[in-house]
Amino acid sequence: MRTLYPAITPFRTHQVAVDDLHTLFVEECGNPDGIPVVFLHGGPGAGVSPTHRRFFDPLRYRIVLIDQRGSGRSTPFGELRDNTTQHLVADVEIIRELLGIDRWLVFGGSWGSTLALAYAQAHPERATGVIVRGVYLGRAEENRWFAEADGGARWIFPERWARYEAYIPEEERGDMIAAYWRRLDSPDEATRIAAAQAWLGWEDHAATLEHDVDAVSADDPLHTLAKARIEAHYFRNHAFLEPGQLLRDIDRIRHLPGVIVQGRYDIICPARSAWDLACAWPEASLQMVVSGHSATEPATADALVRATDAFAGRQ
């Protein structure tokens, strides 16, 4: 089994003003003269962590990591205005041009897989390949699977679901995303924070194959609130994508090398989405591994490091 590369620190960071409101934090790691790759984080709203640098050989890759709008070290933190998939796609292009990169490998997991596919389809001439993990296609049925009472995830993690559901009055449980949004957008900060903690208490602790069903997040409440609000903002707007858009437009990237890594027992982004993507994109390599959603579970980390190493070996 391959493991992640050793921890590294950035050789350069940037504060990039992409418009009059948003300034994005960008870091570059690895080899300044290496193979360019852009890492697109999940959430949406989760931000970049030091672990994300470690999926790539630092001797062979110039690793660019972006805190998306409202996320991580980007400002304004938690901002929802002018925060859509189309804005994020445009931001990636702004950063590519700023860094003087002609083409780069596009790598994303979970929500990052959505953004990676949307970006590559919008700018196929700027991508050298696509690696996605824990596939999320922004479809209504995917949101329903995980977040709604008629979905399937509640049957897998009933202890966690009970807490997520209990926060919402019974008469509002027919549309859990809308019910949570009303509270996440409340004028009362305490209500917003409590809703965010309940929302992420369900999601964050369903990410791994094995976990403590009673674990409680120790994250800063305001960071929890920002991530939950950005997620709900995207979910309630169907990821700002047209129905079936990412599968419909797959022909735009079928000529590119592609790897799809999917946890067989991923409860957050179930394997059906990766399968549907692979059926639409038969040229891509689909690797189903025995893991859940987290990118750092051993089988998933192994597959991702092997994928980035193989891509580097072709260059």
SS (H, E, C) 120-143: HHHCHHHEEEEEEECCCCCCHHHH
CA angle 124, 47, 203 (to 5 degrees): 105
- 266 is an active site residue: yes
The DSSP-derived string for 37-92 is EEEE-STTTT---GGGGGGS-TTTEEEEEE--TTSTT-BSTT--TT-SHHHHHHHH
Tell me if residue 110 is catalytic: yes
Would you kindly state where each structural domain of the chain is located, as residue ranges? 12-138+241-314, 141-239
315 residues of the chain, pLDDT tens digit each: 999 999 999 999 999 999 999 999 999 999 999 999 999 999 999 999 999 999 999 999 999 999 999 999 999 999 999 999 999 999 999 999 999 999 999 999 999 999 999 999 999 999 999 999 999 999 999 999 999 999 999 999 999 999 999 999 999 999 999 999 999 999 999 999 999 999 999 988 888 888 777 767 667 888 999 999 999 999 999 999 999 999 999 999 999 999 999 999 999 999 999 999 999 999 999 999 999 999 999 999 999 999 999 999 987
Q: Copy the structure tokens of residue 217.
A: 């997040």
In the CATH scheme, what is the code of domain 12-138+241-314?
3.40.50.1820
Alpha-carbon span 106 to 92, nearest angstrom: 10
**123 included as an active-site residue:** no
State CA 273 to chain mean position distance. 14
Would you give the DSSP letter of residue 27? E
- At residue 226, the 3 state secondary structure works out as helix
Backbone angles phi, psi at 302, to 5 degrees: -60, -50
Burial 111-123 (b: 16+ CB within 10 A, else e): bbbbbbbbbbbbb
Sequence-distant (≥ 6) Cβ neighbours of residue 308 within 8 angstroms: 37, 55, 56, 57, 61, 105, 107, 131
**Choosing from 249, 293, 294, 302, which is the catalytic residue?**
293
Which residue among 57, 204, 249, 266 is the active-site one?
Answer: 266
Q: Which of 71, 74, 110, 291 is catalytic?
A: 110
**pTM score, whole prediction:** 0.97
Residue 42, pLDDT score: 97
